Structure 1
Amino acid sequence: MKKILLLFLISCSVYSQSEYPQDYFRNPLDITLVLSGTFAELRSSHFHGGLDIKTQRKQGLKVYTAAEGYVSRIKVSHFGYGKAIYVTHPNGYTTVYGHLQKFSKRIEQYIKDCQYEKESFEVEMFPTTEELLVEQDEVIGYSGNTGSSGGPHLHFEIRDNQERPMNPMLFGIDVKDTKAPFVSAVYAYPKDENAIINGKNERVPLRLIPQKTGDYEVEKISAYGNIGFGITSYDKQDLAPNNNGVSNIQTFFNGNKSLEIDFKRFSFDESKHIKRLIDYEYFKNKKSRIQKLFIQKNNPLSLYKDANDNGYIKVEDSTSSIYKVRIRDFKGNETWITIPVNGKYEVIEKEIDEDLSNKSLVYSDKATTLNSENITVNFYGNTLYDDTLIDFKVASDTLYLHEDNIPLQKNFYINYDLSNYKSEHQDKIYIARLYGYYKKPYYVSTKRKGNIISAGSKEFGTYALAMDTVAPTIKPVNFHDKKWLSKYRFLKVKIEDELSGISKYRATVNGRWILMEYDYKTEMLTHDFNDNIVKDTKNELKIIVTDNVGNSSTFEATFFRK
């Protein structure tokens, strides 16, 4: 272990000279790599930061350190990566292993000591360079399904010394892929009100014509003015049927490069701006992601290269042009789209302006406040990407704040004044977002200051006041009162709250805090008797669960162990 530390201190400057060292990092599992998610793949609100490696639909596979180094961070959380380990290496890179079922024995003991000291399941620790040294090929954990995972897999990342995630395949992590990307849709977009595409001044779907080569032609379009294009494209690997993200997109206009999007590296700070890369309105309405091959204002993404006129093309009247798109996966398999463009000026009839009576203008670059009755909505500068007219209407305690089809950079804030409410349960009121046909209320994190309650959100939609006076439920799963549990390894309890949701919980045995791991997906609290905290024969269990507005329930039972 001392050798590892010495190498770390000496080698940082040596390895950092070589970009993307090959044969340095190993496959973190001892099975063939099959991916369920690729690097920088488009997700609902972010770019995917690593590789999602399939674990044969199982949990408990050994997870190995990709290279020697030291554990620089351990995080345990209900959501996100769940149980995650971060290992910093002598070459300056950090590898991340997420959604783990559990850690290796010494790391598990380290983190449990922290959890018992802090009396919290959720912890985040930053060990020193000497505390948890690890060797290459050392088992540091076991694959699982913790956090916001949608199924058993290992999330694996490689980050540079600025904490920016990079494609692990740049470092020789190999996945079999001989299949070229495919395209399911192509669209053309007018840049402004003076642009025309097939006689329209709006997004226009284009007819794809698949070729025997695997490439695509698009039926010739007529256009005039400044226009851009968008595509819906995916890649498949050889050993998996699922659709994944592509690695690189380039566009060309009459043979000249127009734009390149390279999904090689990004920063977490910019990941939220995926909403500017995709057609957000189309995604929210159709659940399909169109990748825009042009750059609109207030788009800070670092993925773009060689942006000529921000990826837009200028089409003159009575001209013939060719626009091409090259889509590649990491292994170099590529697909081309060819779009013939016929320049044709047309006079189009402009639509009559819609009713603006319930519309309010929200500025992109300065603060805007909307008021009605007892409700105020605050937009700080740079909340929206563009100056936008939005629907704003209040009826009783319900706020209608446009449809959720406009991208936002950060939270806006809703404030309700409860001064006129005399309800004895006023402290149980919260702000909810209403979803679905039946407008079911879902809790939005609500803060209270005097008679004002506030909540922040990054999504437009319908909001209202809701009340929760019902305490959470607590039900034992594998035991009952006065049961002998000598042969049991785990103590399991289910906790539920249908309205505002679980906020916190606390469990003790004979007055001493015990660790109970919480899985929100199964609503299960689990204590592992191997923690060796429960040592008495007769044990008094007490669990207190509190929801997000302060309703609490207490469960008590006696159990016995030898």
Structure 2
Amino acid sequence: MRILVLLLAVGMLLPVDMLIAQSGRTFDPADATYLWPTNASHHLTSTFAETRSRHFHAALDIKTWGQRGYEIYATRDGILHRIAVSPTGYGKVIYLKHDDGSYSIYAHLMSFNEELQQFADSIRFAEDFTPSFDRVVEDQHIRVQQGDVIAYSGASGIGPPHLHFELRRPDHSPFNPLQTNLTVQDNISPTISGLSVEPLSPQSTIEGMKQVYTRNPHRQNGTFHFGTIEVSGAVGLGLDVYDQSNGISNAYAVYELSLSVNGRERFYSRVDSFSYAETHQMFIDRVYPLLRDHGKAYQRLFVADGNTLPFYRTNRQQGRLYLPPGEHAVTIRATDFFGNQSTAVVNLRVKESATERFTDRPRIFSPQKVREVDINDWRWFDNWVMIPEEDYREITVATPDPWRLSSHREEVIIDLKTLDNLFMNIPGMSPTIFHRMVPEQKGLITSVNRQAMALFPEHTFYDTVSVTLSSKRFAPDSIKVTVGPEAYPVDKSYELRVKRDSMLTDTSGLAFYKYSKRYDNWYPVTTRFTEEHIIAESRTLGTFISRRDTTAPEVSRPRLHRRPDGQWLVYISVTDNLSGIDHERTEISVNDRRGLAEYEPEDQRMAYYHPEFTPTATMDIRVTLYDRTGNKTSETFQLGR
């Protein structure tokens, strides 16, 4: 075998905090000359700081036309800092460290250049055919020069074929690569497609409603007009906007946003850089209810509580609008990196806040027909919740102060700000208690039946919110746990613990799954076991169910494939009905020669990879495949060239 087995001084991935550069020098992206990193195109599919599922996009994505195999170049001289292979995230990725301490990252690669590929293969084959790894390797002193071919473009990890090109400062904070000499052709102004208005207090209304309100504009003489919107109380605006560049239809993030009221600036944002410690604050930079429920990335034109991002210039109200009664002219401007600008206007007609009608102390209703109530159908805000009257009549609420309840049209408002340990008896959910969670403090809440608990580390939540937990057994080995409401984004992973009893002594095939209402599907959650508990880890609130997976994964007939770089692979389709594929345990051999099993989850396939593999007229293929709960499938195939 030609594979170089190298003895590495780094035996494991270093903790992130040890990777942080300790340079005290001032770094200026304009001080260096960067090379465009690929021959695929000079077009972008995504820009810096766009919305992603749980974070800001930290790079430029460069278009590769849905193809693999384009050359990837070192943008500057440097040393190989880190190299990794994974079926998720960045996939196959190279990190270069430049002589000034800054970094460039090249992700979703098909393969590395010959030297780096041999280096990566030596790690994986030497470590018992491990398909994935992540190493800091500066001690190997592998240097590259600007313009060297370091890899080939691909689609590894998440997403279709493209190059993720990321630049970082010496402290590892990503910055916009367009701040360097790199550029694209763009003389197209942003398109403004929607305005949102959020109520910021229990007394606030928008067009008579206490919910997030949206409106589409009409365009006239180049300006986007939203007409007149009637509001009362404190409100916050948000904008749905995208940019484009010449010769391509992809939609991008804008660079700058500003909001003025009656000619005075109230809010301004510009995104040049951010830290990875703050990247999950994307949830509160965006209008989270619209992002969660509809996938719409409206950008807030005010700074939400808990937001520490360095993007903003605001007034004392942080961009929130506390306007006196009357007519107020609002102007919003969106600008891309190249100075192309669009303007939107809206007239806010502000009315006096209506006096809320407060209820008497809550009564217990006894409806003739009890129906289930879902708390996620209520409208939750940080400091209050609106419950439909028909739901409110199904539940029992106990508060120490009747003045914490008021009514609006056919809804009941509960002011949560000073209500801790708020008891509710909710049909379909069982009795539960809502606890106030303070970001700066650890939190522990338990179900009323003491069967389950949730442990929240400090700064799990961005602001003080009310959270509850309930549990209910609906089968001998299946427990439903609800941690909610789902309306609140979560910044850190928290633990969900369920007590093990005589029904849960057998943990074979057992794991927790989270339900997604938006996609109507169940997704596996990281699960582990102690003598006393079943423990799940999650970064979202919601409904979780323990389920037992006893069905083995399936494999189907393999096929040959030759990559653009000439490397032969064998593709094998794989599926699993519940817990998902455990790619780390998969074994594949061709003619009794074991190779690396590279998992491509988005295509639901495993790839047999061996650097010396050449197809023969007849090939015997053996596959051993596991799912995440240990169910196993072994199959043998014959494949002809």
Query: Normalising by structure 2, what TM-score?
Result: 0.76
1:408 aligns with 2:416: no
Q: After the TM superposition, which of the residue ranges 237-246 and 369-378 deviates more from structure 2?
A: 369-378
1:419 aligns with 2:478: no
CA distance in 2, matches of 1:15, 1:468: 52
Shift in alpha-carbon separation, 1:135–1:224, aligned structure 2, 3 A: same
**Matched AA of 2:158:** S
Shift in alpha-carbon separation, 1:472–1:201, aligned structure 2, 3 A: closer
1:166 aligns with 2:175: yes
Shift in alpha-carbon separation, 1:87–1:458, aligned structure 2, 3 A: same
Other-structure match for 1:363: 436
The 8 Å contact of residues 262 and 330 in structure 2, kept in 1 or not, is answered as yes
CA distance in 1, matches of 2:97, 2:284: 32
Other-structure match for 2:576: 497
1:249 aligns with 2:325: no
CA distance in 2, matches of 1:380, 1:225: 34
Alpha-carbon distance, 1:535 to partner: 13
Other-structure match for 2:331: 324
1:143 aligns with 2:143: no
CA distance in 1, matches of 2:460, 2:112: 40
Other-structure match for 1:83: 92
Alpha-carbon distance, 1:471 to partner: 2.5
**Matched AA of 2:425:** S
The 8 Å contact of residues 15 and 91 in structure 1, kept in 2 or not, is answered as no
> What is the SS of the residue equivalent to 1:268?
coil
Shift in alpha-carbon separation, 1:73–1:253, aligned structure 2, 3 A: same
1:466 aligns with 2:547: yes
CA distance in 1, matches of 2:258, 2:235: 16
**Matched AA of 1:193:** P
The 8 Å contact of residues 364 and 385 in structure 1, kept in 2 or not, is answered as no
Alpha-carbon distance, 1:441 to partner: 3.5
The 8 Å contact of residues 447 and 470 in structure 2, kept in 1 or not, is answered as no
> What is the SS of the residue equivalent to 1:521?
helix
Map 1:119-198 → 2, pairs under 5 A:
119=128, 120-128=130-138, 131-149=141-159, 151-198=160-207
**Matched AA of 2:486:** D
Q: Deviations over 1:378-407 (max 9, x none)?
A: 334432334434564433222234453321
Alpha-carbon distance, 1:516 to partner: 2.6
Shift in alpha-carbon separation, 1:465–1:141, aligned structure 2, 3 A: same
Alpha-carbon distance, 1:363 to partner: 2.3
CA distance in 1, matches of 2:639, 2:208: 77
> What is the SS of the residue equivalent to 2:121?
helix
1:210 aligns with 2:219: yes
CA distance in 2, matches of 1:393, 1:65: 53
Shift in alpha-carbon separation, 1:78–1:353, aligned structure 2, 3 A: same
CA distance in 1, matches of 2:223, 2:232: 26
Shift in alpha-carbon separation, 1:493–1:122, aligned structure 2, 3 A: same
Choose which of 425, 433, 456 in structure 1 pairs with 2:537.
Answer: 456
1:312 aligns with 2:320: yes
CA distance in 1, matches of 2:29, 2:519: 52
Other-structure match for 1:523: 604
**Matched AA of 1:376:** M
RMSD value, Cα: 3.3
Q: After the TM superposition, which of the residue ranges 491-500 and 86-95 deviates more from structure 2?
A: 491-500
> What is the SS of the residue equivalent to 1:553?
strand
Q: Percent identity?
A: 23
**Matched AA of 1:347:** A
Q: After the TM superposition, which of the residue ranges 100-109 and 507-516 deviates more from structure 2?
A: 507-516
> What is the SS of the residue equivalent to 1:245?
coil
Shift in alpha-carbon separation, 1:224–1:517, aligned structure 2, 3 A: closer
1:546 aligns with 2:619: no
> What is the SS of the residue equivalent to 1:220?
strand
Alpha-carbon distance, 1:377 to partner: 2.9
CA distance in 2, matches of 1:78, 1:497: 16
CA distance in 1, matches of 2:567, 2:232: 74
Q: Deviations over 1:146-200 (max 9, x none)?
A: 0012x11111011110111111111021111111111111122332234454444
CA distance in 2, matches of 1:308, 1:324: 19
CA distance in 2, matches of 1:140, 1:239: 28
Map 1:80-119 → 2, pairs under 5 A:
80-119=89-128
Q: Deviations over 1:444-477 (max 9, x none)?
A: 1110001421101122222212111222334451
Other-structure match for 2:379: none
Other-structure match for 2:455: 378
Alpha-carbon distance, 1:109 to partner: 0.8
Other-structure match for 2:304: 296
The 8 Å contact of residues 223 and 315 in structure 1, kept in 2 or not, is answered as no
> What is the SS of the residue equivalent to 2:502?
coil
Alpha-carbon distance, 1:329 to partner: 0.6
Which segments of 5 or more consecutive residues in structure 1 lack a partner in the other structure? 1-11, 480-486
CA distance in 2, matches of 1:516, 1:232: 42
Other-structure match for 1:446: 527
Other-structure match for 1:353: 412
Alpha-carbon distance, 1:543 to partner: 4.4
Alpha-carbon distance, 1:27 to partner: 0.9
Alpha-carbon distance, 1:339 to partner: 2.7
Other-structure match for 1:398: 480
1:341 aligns with 2:423: no
**Matched AA of 1:325:** I
1:60 aligns with 2:128: no
Shift in alpha-carbon separation, 1:412–1:354, aligned structure 2, 3 A: farther
Which segments of 5 or more consecutive residues in structure 2 lack a partner in the other structure? 1-20, 357-406, 415-423, 427-431, 474-478, 561-565
CA distance in 1, matches of 2:23, 2:575: 53
Q: After the TM superposition, which of the residue ranges 236-245 and 352-361 deviates more from structure 2?
A: 352-361
Q: After the TM superposition, which of the residue ranges 329-338 and 459-468 deviates more from structure 2?
A: 459-468
Other-structure match for 1:429: 510
CA distance in 2, matches of 1:159, 1:332: 24
1:219 aligns with 2:227: yes
Q: After the TM superposition, which of the residue ranges 265-274 and 85-94 deviates more from structure 2?
A: 85-94
CA distance in 2, matches of 1:505, 1:68: 38
